[in-house]
Chain A
């Protein structure tokens, strides 16, 4: 091709490419039907789970003629880094998942549809625990359908407990007992960590909040930082002493959500704060031995940071798409024995069935049916999780504070300080964090 022609072709091609970008998907399913896109299809690396999902889609479409479901398999399902951009670019699914840590932001920014008038489409919506529903409700309007809820506990390695001369069936119930157990495990030798903890990447502050709640402390009260308290100081003093006096928390400042679980799965870390889903990840994702891990209620047991997720609807969805989306949520995520609660199929597919990682329906008829199904098809040692289940009713679940991520970033400083500096002044660290937090909370 002559250079001149090449130049013309190149320019024209670029112009056409640019005009072709930014198309938006329409919601009509053709021939009067409705088309929806749904997030969270399992990845190709999990072929059995993916096939099960596809079967569910086919079953749903058969039961709802005229509704066409297109699945997406972005991993992770919810990525805060791309969430708003996907919405803005018209690429967001009709049905998407939001973790509890992001409820507040998504709802405040009106990035989820108000479904107050349509919650009846989800047959068991009334069985979802009131406090869990409250998390997706703002000013009396409902913005999502919760489908997972749990509170933080203490995940521990039963094998290490036994090796250190501790009773795996009597896990620690107070922070003093945690410290004593951690010391014994660390004394097993080089490389053993009694109690694993984060120090950065916003995970340090997150775990500070968990430990603070467990002691009865508060993060924010009446719009002001409340963590510079006796409970807050106790959290940091305890961690500082475990690091510098007992040498039982290791010397790495862990950042990132997965780093501590990887360490846990390696089999040389005794304990960590975590919800039951940590066990699923430790055993399935990081290949830890399922029989080794147990979970108990959070030490102190005054309150526990709540975790979980909800499905929400794209604010740009039409009324017919909204209805179809809620029918999908009802079928796939809220019906005992169907979709994600088809535990028999999960067991056959090698899923880690048995972890008590979901208590969003409580003692309602639906909740009981789900719990029975899970227990009947358990493949994990459910006995290891009884301490957590037994402790749960007595522990108050607490939602995340406002501006949680910014406060966690501030508290990362205090957490990393006590883990890296023997001379760390707890009082000064918390006073500094408090003034920083108050300036953040004062902003609109």
Chain B
């Protein structure tokens, strides 16, 4: 009779067997990640940065906009619970005698600022681009006002415009021209503010246009010259078409910026004389911080301004798309 004896396996063999998984123990294999998941994993870092940016925008831009829209339908003292007042704030604003004046001044200022602050920087950029000498120096000189704090620029112009010892009247007097009242006359006050605004913002525009001009291939100008085009024709048929995209973008930015003009009337004229320089932004400030904290009316006016600017931006985008 044979007896079965179980021989112990050698150690190494046992170890090997332990390492090898039995065939029946099937490990559930992971499904291969979908295309979307792969993309998400690959872009995780980008999403992280995007989250931070979105968070900042939400907290400091979009949330205040939402609050402003809500506030324009409320009356609040910022201490008690606000009360809903429907369209009362809008009625208050529209019935204000200064409402029409503020919009008219804002549109006139925007138009004048476009004529000066849009055409002048482009012309300066073209001239600088054509120069062969002292380019860097002139760029610095042109950009210098941008580096000054706005308040300093404004105070500087307060002295320039002074009807007595002011620089402008002294200069006019020196060449035998009649002096002007500048800020102290309804006919010149708004235009005086346009000059300040143009001077303060000229440098930034010039630099952007210069960058666009330097991207225009030189061959285009050479071809135009061979065809006998003079400088004006070269600007019309080469420079402007080649910089159209920047020009339209700057136009929109300029409109949006100039329609929010505040610091110049606030610091130089206080909205006067005779409300000649009251702007929408200045009137908003008056509602919120001068007329006893009427934040609802200030917000309502702000909302109106925002809608107008959105309309301008929408028209601009449409035009840009059509061009493309």
Q: A residues within 8 Å of B by Cβ?
A: 3-4, 6-8, 10-11, 14-15, 18, 80-81, 83-85, 87-88, 102, 104-105, 109-111, 190-191, 199-204, 251-253, 255-256, 315-316, 403, 405-406, 409-410, 412-413, 416-417, 419-421, 435-436, 439-440, 443
Contacts and interface: CB of A to CB of B under 8 A. Distances in A.
B273 A199 contact: yes
Nearest to B95: A439
A200 B49 contact: no
A256 to B, nearest CB: 7
A87 B293 CA distance: 12
A420 B181 contact: yes
B78 A443 contact: no
B77 A84 contact: yes
Given A251-B181, A420-B186, A84 B78 contact: yes
A21 to B, nearest CB: 9
Nearest to B273: A416
Closest 6 CB pairs of A and B: A7-B48, A201-B270, A200-B272, A88-B78, A255-B270, A200-B270
Given A14-B52, A200-B273, A417-B274, 9 more contacts: A104-B292, A110-B80, A111-B79, A252-B184, A253-B184, A253-B269, A255-B272, A256-B270, A409-B291
20 contacts: A7-B51, A10-B48, A10-B49, A14-B52, A80-B290, A88-B79, A104-B292, A105-B292, A109-B292, A199-B273, A200-B272, A252-B162, A253-B272, A316-B79, A412-B270, A416-B274, A421-B185, A421-B186, A436-B97, A443-B95
B295 interface: yes
B272 A201 contact: yes
A255 B154 CA distance: 14
Contact of A253 (B47, B98, B273): B273
B185 A420 contact: yes
B293 A105 contact: yes
Interface in B278-293: 286, 289-293
Contacts of A406: 291
B183 interface: yes
Contacts of B184: 251-253, 419-420
A380 B217 CA distance: 75
Contacts of B51: 7, 11
A194 B250 CA distance: 49
A14 B147 CA distance: 30
A87 B52 contact: no
A401 to B, nearest CB: 13
Interface string B61-88: 0000000000000000111100000000
A420 B77 contact: no
B14 to A, nearest CB: 44
Chain B CB within 10 Å, residue with most, of A10, A409, A439: A409
Nearest to A84: B78
A84 B71 CA distance: 14
A104 B291 CA distance: 12
A109 B162 contact: no
B136 to A, nearest CB: 35
A82 to B, nearest CB: 9
Contacts of B163: 251-252
B271 interface: yes
A84 B295 contact: yes
Interface string B35-69: 00000000011111101100110010000000000
Interface in B241-287: 269-275, 286
Interface string B291-314: 111010000000000000000000
Contact of A413 (B59, B181, B269, B272): B272
Contacts of B59: 18
A107 to B, nearest CB: 11
Nearest to A432: B97
B92 interface: yes
Contacts of A18: 55, 59
Nearest to A202: B290
Contacts of B79: 84, 87-88, 109-111, 315-316
B276 to A, nearest CB: 9
A7 B164 CA distance: 58
A86 to B, nearest CB: 9
B98 A405 contact: no
Contacts of A3: 45, 49
Contacts of B162: 252
B289 A10 contact: no
Chain B CB within 10 Å, residue with most, of A3, A104, A201: A201
Interface string B145-164: 00000000000000000111
A440 B185 CA distance: 27
A412 B271 CA distance: 9
A411 to B, nearest CB: 11
B183 to A, nearest CB: 7
Contacts of A104: 292
